[in-house]
Structure 1
Amino acid sequence: MIRPDVIDLRNFYHSPLGQVVRRVISRKIRQMWPDLKNFRLLGLGYATPYLNIFRPEAERVISFMPLEQGVIQWPREGGSLVSLVDERTLPLPDASIDRIIWVHGLENSTDIDPILQELWRVLTSTGKLLVVVPGRRGLWARTENTPFGYGYPYNDKQLNRLLRDNGFTPGDRQGALYMPPGNWRLNLRLWRVWENVGAKWWRRFSGVRIMEAEKQVYALTALPERETRRRPVILPAARPVIVGRELPRIGEDL
């Protein structure tokens, strides 16, 4: 499966269209999670454009980027909070994270069940996962001029089934990106109009679907057992892409 690499993702979010996308989706995420005070937050995939709004209040904010995608420095100032990882073996202890935002990841993954089971493992008993994926009926999944045009798009029914099968209870869901995926100046200026009208009249045709899911504690015995419990993989210094200062190798204690 072809997926955008970290440079493509960075360049998109630096573009005028990408900046609007960040505002639109960040607004929806903030509505769903209005307060993460003293919570430990993990961003997975390419979630860094949506993590800064939580840094002033969260106890800790970190970002993991997958091997197939590559990694860039984040944040620009201060110590690095991002690492390159194997999504199936996260270098975190059990029940160590309160909230996870997964963006530009699920739709591009072929090993979905092991990743979701790993996210289940690192979440606390009251932990929640927020998944952002391209909407199956929206225009954004039909063009490759944005990162949402890659991978496998989802509708709510498919997301529900996938999350339930891996020990999560689906909860609140929102649509976003009703505007066309174009860089035209008028289109970008009218993004609030597009979002307001779309949320009222075209809910099923949103460009992305955002779904919250809560960890099912009682689902432990229902999840398929792994043949062996692998220790978290600490990656060597060789990395696909690094922009900015060199990142320190991640340790087990975050």
Structure 2
Amino acid sequence: MQTRPSLPVPSDAAGFYASRRGEQVTSLLMSRLLPLLPDPKGFRVLGLGYAAPVLSQWRALSQAQWVASARLDTPLTRRQGIPSVAGHDWPGCVVAADALPFDDLSIDLVVLMHGLELVDPHPLLRMVWKLLSDHGRLVLVVPNRTGLAAKDDTLPFGHGSPFSTGQLDRVLQRALFRAEACSTALSAPPGLLSLGEQAGFMGDRLFSLLGRRLGGVHLVTACKDLYSGMPVEAERASLNFARRVTTLAGSAKT
């Protein structure tokens, strides 16, 4: 019986997205991500982790005020892709997860892909919270621990530590982000892509009906939770003590 040759494991994200299979995965991601993306007109947009492939297919991004790409300094994401994959001549750099070289409140939208699963998520999200403007948005593409994409190491999403639905919700809450919209992508078995892009689209749409817990990757739009640490009203003392006024012995004499 003749067996199908196994797919090569990509050395990094740049190599994967330069391949035909990488282009198919990017198209599938964008088909599910577009409904969650805000209107970028006049926005300052940062692609973080390794987000250039999806940003290059976002046509409305041409209306943004400023766009840049910051690749995290990990073995999977630090190498720059070829220009034909990036699609645009955006400024780019390699950054450490706990030291992003951007001013506080300077970015309106961060698209983070191939990030949370590769580094300690808490310092990274803290840095993102600081650089986002008060009305800023964070768009996350994160592998799902219970999905198929995280179990396939021929995909970049099969590397690092994926997140379950509950884990991702708790990480965002701890970092003072509030999820506004959620969806999934790459829910179908990755092998469907070998049957063609149309089969991949149809399979992904059908399998996504099974719910977020079985999706291949989490797609989440979140905003800064500016008031999560503030009490709704002034706290009152639980015990009511009568007020007592005392004086020093010496001060009572005139």
TM normalised by structure 2 equals 0.77
Q: Which position in structure 2 is the counterpart of 1:99?
A: 109
| Paired AA for residue 211 in structure 1 | V
Match among 129, 133, 142 for residue 133 of structure 1: 142
Note if contact 1:71-1:83 (Cα within 8 Å) is conserved in structure 2. Answer: no
Q: Which position in structure 2 is the counterpart of 1:124?
A: 133
Please, what is the CA RMSD of the aligned residues? 2.5
Note if contact 2:144-2:217 (Cα within 8 Å) is conserved in structure 1. Answer: yes
What is the CA-CA distance between 1:73 and the residue it aligns to?
Answer: 5.7
- Cα distance in 2 between the residues matched to 1:22 and 1:100: 18
Q: Which position in structure 1 is the counterpart of 2:16?
A: 12
Q: Which position in structure 1 is the counterpart of 2:189?
A: 180
CA gap 1:67/1:189 in 2 versus in 1, 3 angstroms: same
Note if contact 1:176-1:195 (Cα within 8 Å) is conserved in structure 2. Answer: yes
Q: Which position in structure 1 is the counterpart of 2:67?
A: 61
- Cα distance in 2 between the residues matched to 1:26 and 1:107: 20
| Paired AA for residue 205 in structure 2 | N
What is the CA-CA distance between 1:147 and the residue it aligns to?
Answer: 0.7
Note if contact 2:24-2:193 (Cα within 8 Å) is conserved in structure 1. Answer: no
CA gap 1:79/1:181 in 2 versus in 1, 3 angstroms: closer
Note if contact 1:17-1:188 (Cα within 8 Å) is conserved in structure 2. Answer: no
Q: Which has the higher contact order (CA 8 A, sep 6+)?
A: 1
Please tell me whether residue 72 in structure 1 is matched to residue 80 in structure 2: yes
User: Deviations along 1:123-165, whole A, 9 cap, x unmatched?
Assistant: 0001111111111111111121111111111122111110110
What is the CA-CA distance between 1:74 and the residue it aligns to?
Answer: 7.0
Q: Which position in structure 1 is the counterpart of 2:249?
A: none
Match among 126, 149, 152 for residue 143 of structure 1: 152
CA gap 1:213/1:149 in 2 versus in 1, 3 angstroms: same
My pick for the range that moved more, 49-58 or 194-203, is: 194-203
State the aligned residue count.
Answer: 217
Q: Which position in structure 2 is the counterpart of 1:37?
A: 41
- Cα distance in 2 between the residues matched to 1:78 and 1:165: 35
My pick for the range that moved more, 158-167 or 46-55, is: 46-55
Gaps of 5+ in 1: 1-5, 223-254
CA gap 1:139/1:90 in 2 versus in 1, 3 angstroms: same
The structure whose Rg is larger is 2
- Cα distance in 2 between the residues matched to 1:74 and 1:80: 12
CA gap 1:193/1:85 in 2 versus in 1, 3 angstroms: same
- Cα distance in 1 between the residues matched to 2:96 and 2:212: 35
Note if contact 2:182-2:221 (Cα within 8 Å) is conserved in structure 1. Answer: yes
Query: After superposition, where does 1:154-233 map in structure 2 within 5 Å?
Result: 154-182=163-191, 185-186=194-195, 188-201=197-210, 203-219=212-228
| Paired AA for residue 208 in structure 2 | A
Gaps of 5+ in 2: 1-9, 232-254
Q: Which position in structure 2 is the counterpart of 1:84?
A: 94
Note if contact 1:176-1:209 (Cα within 8 Å) is conserved in structure 2. Answer: yes
TM normalised by structure 1 equals 0.77
